[in-house]
Amino acid sequence: MKRFKKLLAAVFAGMFACSLALSPLSALAAQDASGLEEGTAYLNINNDAWEEFEAEWTNAKITGDGSYTVAMKAAEGQSLAQFNALEVVNGEAYLGTGCVLTVDSIKINGEEVELQGPSYTCSADGGGETTRVNIYNEWNSPDPAATAGDDKHVDNRVAEGNLEDATACLFSGDYVNSSSGSGFLVEALEVAFTVSGFGTQAEVAEGGEAPTAEGPAVAHLSINNEEWSEYEAEYVDAEITGDGTYTVSMKAAEGQSLVQFNALEVENGELLLGTAYTITVDSIKINGEEVGLQGPSYTCSADGGGINTRVNLYNEWNTPDETATAGDDDHLDNRVAEGSVADATACLFSSDYVNASSGSGFLVESMEVTFTVAGVGTAAAAGEATGPEVPALDLNGSYNAYLGIQTPTYSFRNAFDDASYGRDTEYFNQITGWEGSDAVVREGSFTDAVIEGNGTYTVSVSGMNLEGDFDSQDYFNLIFLSTDIPNTGEITISDIKLTIDGRDVQCSPILSPDSLSYVNMLIQNIWNEDVATIGFYTVPPKEMQITFTVSGFAYDNTAAAPAESEPASEPEAAPEPESAPAAAPAENSSSVSPVVIVVIVVVVIAVIAVVAVVLSKKKKN
């Protein structure tokens, strides 16, 4: 059948939200809300390049039930992306989980536009913190099955009427260039809304009713081009009726340059087929030729929602999460028919086929995926996650240490074991920045350390040129020490000293809570309150070094013996703590993983709603 490929709600919801926020692919909201007072309503308006832009913002402090107005006036007309929202800082706690924001009118460029339906209120990405009203969000819709007052406050709510009548796209897609290709430029946007139920709490349901769905369970391909736009193609889907082998395919009217997220999905698969069934990809053909698989596939619930099933065919922003608990409330478990999830990959085919990643210019005219379904009708048993397998530690061995960073604009060097940007990729020995969705090399040279026994070591980066990265924020998102030392608890890293442009910076590093397989030390991480704020340093810096002491090996490195202590330059006091940006929505993610995108990633996006947030240039399973 012929149909137009449509972007999935989940693309940016997961892309914009890595749990450790090491993804460089988180969406950039145009207005920085990190310094806004609790209870402040503001607009989150994004252009189709997912870049910051200059604008005057009118925010509103909500003090009770009543009418309020928020607005944006851009210095230059902006081509809007597919995600824009009205949000309230810490709204779920400040307003109450029963409070509703109803959009009364929207003006674009001074003219009132026709609303496409009633608005609805929710917790942004189900996080239970920020309150959100989607103004235009192609990747989401209200969820009538959400349980009011549950642990994450994911309930969707309206002041009156039926939630199913509400919409996440309040104005026409004609105003969104990424969606319609209209080229329409938004110079100003004003939203008037009414607050009701201020201070009320949603009634907590005892467990609530589990969502249900009626069949059939249909598997289909989600193949996305690098413009994230619709294109004409013929799709062959497959109805899953039980264990067995199936094939799905896509044939485009014109060759498409692929983006970094493509997947096989089964709508309502977790509900119809069970939370323990698996889909194993047997083969992939691109343009009629079978391609070499880069590893085994894995099955998961798309975005951890416990409804749709997903198998990532190529997703640079996610890796399987070994720590996910099988059968938990959101069905976040990642599963394989046999073997270990740790051996699986989210990128089944080579990046050579993904133009947005490799710049190869390769055009995909058709794709065919053959897969085997096993365990239909079985449910995952609830239980504690066993955690990843930690590699064996050689106390007489040699290991490596690396300096990692992420700037406010997501220029980065990720952890060594990051699947998409780590040591085994072309991105690792450089600072990688972004021009739109394209990765670019930033100036800077890293010096790593070989750890050979107990002693003191230094890693560093010099010659950095990060002009423009700190226009919105005067500190790094992330500064960390990444090592390939297995995290068995036998090796300790201590006495960490951070020096930036020759000055010592006060810091109190911690072992990363996400250091599941390897020892990684967090020095600054704005998403972790324990290390969100450190001593003052000037930005953009040219040089940075981390000196640290390693102990626990069976031998000493005499060449790396601790130096005689000398008076160090006086570290400057840490600035007063300020609210750290809320993490973007998360899908299943590795502990130190990116997506841009999504975007995010996402964010998205969304990614997840938002990947991470995140499709942010935001991430996804």
What confidence tens digit (pLDDT) does each residue in 268-278 have? Answer: 888 888 888 89
Task: Report how far residue 4's alpha carbon sits from residue 229's, in angstroms, rounded to the nearest whole number.
Answer: 10
Residues 183 and 239 placed together within one structural domain of the fold: no
Does the residue 167 lie in any domain?
yes
Q: What is the phi/psi pair of residue 252, to 5°?
A: -85, 150
Range of the domain at 545: 399-554
- Of the listed ranges 24-33, 142-151, 571-580, the one predicted with least confidence: 571-580
Q: What's the pLDDT band for 568 if we cut at 50, 70, 90? A: very low
Does the residue 391 lie in any domain?
no
Residues 53 and 123 placed together within one structural domain of the fold: yes
Name the residue with higher pLDDT: 310 or 178: 310
Does the residue 155 lie in any domain?
yes
Residues 285 and 370 placed together within one structural domain of the fold: yes
Spatial strand order of the sheet with 364-374 comes to 2-4, 232-236, 244-256, 364-374, 278-286, 289-290
Residues 224 and 164 placed together within one structural domain of the fold: no
394 pLDDT above the threshold of 50:
yes
Does the residue 443 lie in any domain?
yes
* Most confidently modeled range among 19-23, 437-441, 497-501: 497-501
Dihedral sign computed on CA atoms, order 103, 107, 108, 113: positive
Residue 58, token pair as written in the block? 């009118």
Query: Do 369 and 412 contact (CB within 8 A), yes or no?
Result: no
Q: What's the pLDDT band for 148 if we cut at 50, 70, 90? A: low
Q: What's the pLDDT band for 618 if we cut at 50, 70, 90? A: very low
Mean pLDDT of 484-492: 92
Residues 127 and 228 placed together within one structural domain of the fold: no
Residues 248 and 125 placed together within one structural domain of the fold: no
Task: Report how far residue 299's alpha carbon sits from residue 516's, in angstroms, rounded to the nearest whole number.
Answer: 21
Which of these three, 525, 554, 583, is where a domain ends? 554
Does the residue 383 lie in any domain?
no
Residues 367 and 403 placed together within one structural domain of the fold: no
**Could you tell me which residues come within 8 angstroms of residue 570 by beta carbon, excluding any fewer than 6 positions away?**
504
Residues 328 and 369 placed together within one structural domain of the fold: yes
Cis peptide before 540 (omega within 30 of 0): yes
The residue written with tokens 């938990």 in the block is 328
583 pLDDT above the threshold of 50:
no
Does the residue 597 lie in any domain?
no
Helix (H, G, I), strand (E, B) or coil at 405: strand
Give the per-residue pLDDT at 389. Answer: 66
Q: What DSSP element (H or E) covers 449?
A: strand 449-451
Among residues 259, 284, 254, the alpha carbon closest in space to that of 365 is found at 254
Name the residue with higher pLDDT: 612 or 207: 207
101 pLDDT above the threshold of 50:
yes
Does the residue 559 lie in any domain?
no
- Of the listed ranges 252-266, 389-403, 414-428, 482-496, the one predicted with least confidence: 414-428
Task: Report how far residue 324's alpha carbon sits from residue 346's, in angstroms, rounded to the nearest whole number.
Answer: 16
Does the residue 474 lie in any domain?
yes
Give the per-residue pLDDT at 153. Answer: 57
Q: How far apart are the first and last CA of the chain?
A: 28
Query: Do 542 and 596 contact (CB within 8 A), yes or no?
Result: no
Residues 343 and 462 placed together within one structural domain of the fold: no
Q: What's the pLDDT band for 150 if we cut at 50, 70, 90? A: low
Which of these three, 196, 228, 253, is where a domain ends? 196
Give the per-residue pLDDT at 560. Answer: 78
Give the per-residue pLDDT at 444. Answer: 96
Q: What is the phi/psi pair of residue 74, to 5°?
A: -85, 145
Give the per-residue pLDDT at 130. Answer: 87
Query: Do 225 and 178 contact (CB within 8 A), yes or no?
Result: no
Residues 355 and 428 placed together within one structural domain of the fold: no
- Of the listed ranges 126-130, 209-213, 330-334, the one predicted with least confidence: 209-213
Which of these three, 554, 572, 594, is where a domain ends? 554
Mean pLDDT of 470-476: 92
Number of domains in the chain: 3
Computed over every residue of the chain, the mean pLDDT equals 80
Read off the pLDDT of residues 329-355 as tens digits, 9 standing for 90 and up: 455 578 888 888 888 899 999 999 998
Residues 40 and 116 placed together within one structural domain of the fold: yes
* Prediction pTM value: 0.45
Residue type at position 353: Y
Residues 142 and 183 placed together within one structural domain of the fold: yes
Mean pLDDT of 243-266: 94
Give the per-residue pLDDT at 331. Answer: 52
Read off the pLDDT of residues 283-333 as tens digits, 9 standing for 90 and up: 999 999 999 999 999 998 875 666 789 999 999 877 787 666 544 445 557
Residue 543, token pair as written in the block? 């040089």
- Of the listed ranges 149-153, 398-402, 403-407, 450-454, the one predicted with least confidence: 149-153
Name the residue with higher pLDDT: 200 or 555: 555
Helix (H, G, I), strand (E, B) or coil at 444: coil
Read off the pLDDT of residues 590-606 as tens digits, 9 standing for 90 and up: 333 333 333 333 333 33
CB atoms within 10 A of CB 294: 13
